[in-house]
Amino acid sequence: MKIAFLDRSTLSPDTTLRLPAFAHELVSYDHTQPGDVASRIADADIVITNKVKLTAETLGQASRLKLVAVAATGTDNIDLKACAERGIVVSNVRNYAGHTVPEHTFALMFALRRSICAYRDSVKAGRWQESGQFCYFDYPVRDLAGSTLGIIGDGVLGNAVATIGRALGMQVLFSAFKGHSGQGSLYTPFDDMLARSDVITLHCPLNAHTRNMLGAEDFAKMARKPLIINTARGGLVDEAALALALRSGQISGAGFDVVSAEPPAADHPFMALLDLPNFILTPHVAWASREAIQGLADQLIDNVEAFVRGTPVNVVVAAA
């Protein structure tokens, strides 16, 4: 049985990827360009991909393909409809990031709320000596305790963030779906959440309903000038509109770990914000603690082995 791993370098080199416990040939590629996908999966029985796209056209050329094992939770890089039509099972990795993503989310919150990066840079520039006293107040410092945290997404990660927020003394609001009402008392209407939150953090999938969920009209409704934190998916926020909202003062800061195109091009709106003291961009590493990546790798191979045993798990698309 042939297994093709299309982007092994998206897992840390420190990660142990154990060999599946069945007879197989594993071919690993560090990277796979779009033009190489078809040839690399043509004779594969199992394909492992993290971010490489599998389109209907390339899937149609893989006559032996039985399983696409996604080395991530998100499957927006896979044509799921085409897989279903061809009887290709798709599995993903779940609940491996329950600590690492919430911790990164709060790292961004703390850094922005307390101006950590701005103060660090000013110390490097000699501002402390220039001040002539034991401290100085060039940048705002605010507590998270007593503030309101708006969470978009109520899955494992959203709930983990809520737990930490409550432990820090924050009031937590789970947002209702944008444009919907009647979800019950556990959810705050979307526009109310925008108006009441001091921090808004996103933990939802990217799909047709959530793409550009936060845009210019939404930033205008943010009465408390919140921080915007996105450790979920690029594309959930209109990035050009966010840049304008940040520069105009409609929001007080933004911390992003994800961008709609990764890596972002030199002319991406976020690249012009990097010198601002209230903007932080990290390179999609919220998921990437050593512990989380190893857990992902172990679960990935568990998924492959379960499929070969005839008992597939973590199934996104089942065989017809």
Which residues are tagged catalytic? 233, 262, 284
Helix pair angle (156-167, 100-113), 10° resolution: 50
What is d(CA 243, CA 14) in angstroms, rounded to the nearest whole number? Answer: 36
Phi, psi of 286 (to 5 degrees): -60, -35
Across the beta sheet with 67-70, what order do the strands follow? 25-28, 2-5, 46-49, 67-70, 89-91, 315-317
Among residues 63, 71, 64, 68, the alpha carbon closest in space to that of 80 is found at: 68
What is d(CA 248, CA 94) in angstroms, rounded to the nearest whole number? Answer: 38
Bridge partners, residue 91, by sequence: 69, 315
What is d(CA 224, CA 147) in angstroms, rounded to the nearest whole number? Answer: 10
